[in-house]
Every structure is written in structure tokens, then in C-alpha cells.
């Protein structure tokens, strides 16, 4: 049964990334991890947990984890982050990129803006690589794609609520 599941996963990836008729024998993936604050970066706990989840998920899928790129102490408000930009450059490399997938432990580590998330999904489809968010449904099905988009919308909501609470707290402290 495990062999059949692995073959199915490889075939599904083959369809999703628009590969030629031959099945991809080995998926090479990049991991991407991020924490927002300097305190989180200094403790290393959030980064270690994300790294462990990505490493385990790649191992379970039989994927080779080529590298894990890190952005420490940076917000996911936009996509202009050194680690993320390095990952996107490697995924876009031609002829064919040395990696075929980007793996994140949580979707909100990648993007907290729905437009940024949508841009990344469009980019992955255009360039032929897979985005795997471990906390979101598999986006290779219509329902999974919709659920992943809803997860991105809630990540944006959370970012906006945090911002509103911070503004209120600062206003109260000044009063």
C-alpha cells in the first residue's frame, strides 16, 4: 500500500507541475521557515519546530530536502524577504530548476496577505513548482485549493487583528 501511495503522490505531482510524460523519480524540495520577532529568532524555538516539521514531511513523502531557507525576525506582510526571494529564485531557475517544491510548516509563515498568497500560487503554476503548506489541505484538488485559499484569508485577518490591537495598545499607553 505504501508503494501505491508513493506512486500516486509522484503522479499527482507530475500532473500539478506540468512535467513531461515521464514520472518524476525524485522530488527535490526547499523548505522555508520564518519568525516575526527578534525574540523568536533569538530563542530559535519557532524555527526549530518549523524545521523539524518540514524535514519530517519531506521524509514521509520520500522527497529530498535540498535546503531550508530562513527569514528571522521579519514580518510576512510582504514577500520582499531575503530567504523567500532566494527560494523563489531557485524554484524559477532554468533549465530545469534543481528543486520542484517549496514546503512551509504553516501557510502564515509564507504569506499573511491574501494577494501575496494568490501571487505565489500563480507563480508556482506558471513556473511549474509545487507549494506545500503542511497546515493546509492539499491544493491539487478543487476543494483543497479552496480550503487553502480560506486559510490564507484567515492568516490575513489575523495579521490585521494583531495590527489593530497593537495600535490600540500604543494609543492607551500614550493616554
What the block records as the C-alpha cell of 145 is 485549493
- Give CA–CA dist 93/162, Å, rounded: 36
| Gap between the Cα atoms of 81 and 98, Å rounded | 21
Task: For residue 94, count CB atoms less than 10 angstroms from its CB and return exposed for 0-12, middle for 13-18, buried for 19 or more.
Answer: exposed
Catalytic residues: 36
Task: Kindly report the number of other CB atoms within 10 A of residue 46's CB atom.
Answer: 19
Amino acid at each position: 500500500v505504501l508503494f501505491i501511495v508513493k506512486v500516486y503522490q509522484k503522479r499527482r505531482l507530475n500532473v500539478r507541475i506540468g512535467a513531461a510524460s515521464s514520472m518524476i523519480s525524485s522530488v527535490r524540495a526547499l523548505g522555508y521557515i520564518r519568525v516575526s520577532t527578534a525574540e523568536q529568532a533569538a530563542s530559535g524555538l519557532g524555527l526549530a519546530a518549523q524545521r523539524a516539521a518540514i524535514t519530517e514531511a519531506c521524509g514521509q513523502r520520500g522527497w529530498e530536502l535540498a535546503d531550508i531557507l530562513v527569514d528571522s525576525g521579519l514580518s510576512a506582510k510582504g514577500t520582499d524577504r531575503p530567504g523567500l526571494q532566494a527560494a523563489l529564485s531557485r524554484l524559477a531557475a532554468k533549465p530545469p530548476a534543481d528543486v520542484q517544491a517549496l514546503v512551509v510548516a504553516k501557510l502564515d509563515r509564507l504569506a499573511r496577505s491574501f494577494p501575496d498568497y494568490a501571487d505565489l500560487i500563480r507563480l508556482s503554476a506558471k513556473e511549474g513548482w509545487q507549494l506545500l503548506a503542511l497546515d493546509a489541505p492539499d491544493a491539487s484538488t478543487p476543494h483543497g485549493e479552496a480550503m487553502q485559499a480560506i486559510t490564507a484569508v484567515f492568516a490575513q485577518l489575523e495579521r490585521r487583528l494583531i495590527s489593530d490591537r497593537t495600535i490600540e495598545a500604543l494609543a492607551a499607553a500614550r493616554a
